Amino acid sequence: MFKFKALTSEKLSLIATLFFVFACNSVFWQQLYTIQNPNTAAGWLFMLIGALFLILVLNLFLNLLALPYVLKPVLTVLLLITPVVVYFMSQFGIMINGGMLRNAAQTNLTETLDLLTLKMALYWLVLGGLPLYLLWKTPIQYRPFRREAMVKTSVIVGSIVLLLLVSLGFYKEFASVFRNNRELRYLITPMNFIQASSNYLKHSVNIKPIVVAAIGTDANIYVATAKSP
């Protein structure tokens, strides 16, 4: 039987990052390509730097969670949800935000069943089922604690430094594109549904139940009586 080679948590995080950025963000890349229309070297450079920025951000996020008994469950949740998100974005042109999640939470069973299609199942199989199988078949090789901590710290610090360099070098270009096309940030998977879930939960916690109470229960009725002349 074929035996999968063990990977360090950093390698697994990087592979997962590349999969999410390039395999699960077709809608984002198509939209960015349409906006930028990169017919020059500068345009293609912006696309490449954008990909590098997303890789650094997501890889940093996953490395912060690359701990024993944590990394695989986190990736499992992301792989369970991401194919569904990609399907709805590509097929219905929706953007993932807190409002969309509130609408989804209010969908009844009949409406949910109507949305389940063979095409959706194929999306999930390719972008979720197969990667999940490979994920759980691949063992993670962790080093002794001190060595693991040193390597993790180096990867995290290196990612932060590169992020700062990219941000400083291309801040004006990124700020201009995302300021004029705010919908782009709702198309970046899986960051879009992570942020949307956070906003939805915060909104749900802040909603207080409506209490129906009587008003003016302490009011007294005074009857004026006419005095005799």
3-state SS, the chain, equals CCCCCCEEHHHHHHHHHHHHHHHCCHHHHHHHHHHHCCCCHHHHHHHHHHHHHHHHHHHHHHHHCCCCCCHHHHHHHHHHHHHHHHHHHHHHCCCCCHHHHHHHHCCCHHHHHHHCCHHHHHHHHHHHHHHHHHHHHCCEECCCHHHHHHHHHHHHHHHHHHHHHHHHHHHHHHHHHHHHCHHHHHCCCCHHHHHHHHHHHHHHHHCCCCCCCCCCCCCCCCCCCCCCC
C-alpha dihedral sign at 16, 17, 21, 24: positive
pLDDT tops 60 at residue 214: no
**102 vs 159, more confident:** 159
Residue 138 · residue 12 · CB < 8 Å: yes
pLDDT digits (tens, 9 = 90+) for 63-77: 999 999 999 999 999
pLDDT bin (cut points 50, 70, 90) of residue 213 is low
Query: How confident is the model at residue 221, as a pLDDT?
Result: 53
Least confident interval from 30-44, 147-161, 174-188, 194-208? 194-208
Can you tell me the mean pLDDT for 80-85? 94
pLDDT tops 70 at residue 225: no
Residue 196 · residue 100 · CB < 8 Å: yes
Residue type, 141: Q
What b/e readout covers 34-67, taking b as 16+ CB neighbours within 10 angstroms?
A: eebeeeeeeeeebeeebbebbbbbbbbbbbeebe
Task: Find where tokens 């293609």 sit.
Answer: 44
Can you tell me the mean pLDDT for 148-167? 94
**102 vs 153, more confident:** 153
- Give the mean pLDDT of the chain: 87
**150 vs 229, more confident:** 150
